Amino acid sequence: MSVRKTLFVIGLLLTAFLISCNSDRKGKLPADLVTNPNSAEGRNKSGLPVIQFDKDVHDFGKLVAGEKATFGFRFTNAGSADLLISQVNTTCGCTTPKFSKTPIKPGEKKEIIVTFDSEGKKGMQQKSITVVTNCQPPQTVIWIKAMVIAN
């Protein structure tokens, strides 16, 4: 028997073995993987944290090109477990966030400080900031906007 035929037969046997091993679990997921912490009404019933912003959009108004503007997005942990912010991602390098990496207790208020640098920008600017947490859903988007005018 040639090497090619031998490899083909081994491949067929391996495929048949893998299919037979997985056939008893076909279409089934382990129960611990299927969780839904929200009720049908959308309320959190599982003791998770909930990030609740005072406002999710801030308009800086008119900025002169090259000007930097800063705003603090205030939020509350409205859930019943510690809130952890793992990341805050922005749409471009012109927007810089600062946030607490320590656990935020239920009922505690904090803020995410966002600085927008209008250098090299002109016209209407709108930037999204994605906050990644241990909440359900894990991502919340907040926005800044500004009208950048020439100096």
Q: Biggest alpha carbon distance in the chain? A: 82
pTM beyond cutoff 0.75:
no
Residue 82 backbone phi and psi in degrees, to 5: -60, 135
Show the tokens assigned to 98.
């600062």
Are the C-beta atoms of 108 and 148 separated by less than 8 Å?
no
pLDDT (tens, 9 = 90+) of the chain, 151 residues, equals 677 777 777 766 766 655 555 545 444 444 443 444 555 555 555 689 999 999 999 999 999 999 999 999 999 999 999 999 999 999 999 999 999 999 999 999 999 999 999 999 999 999 999 999 999 999 999 999 999 998 7
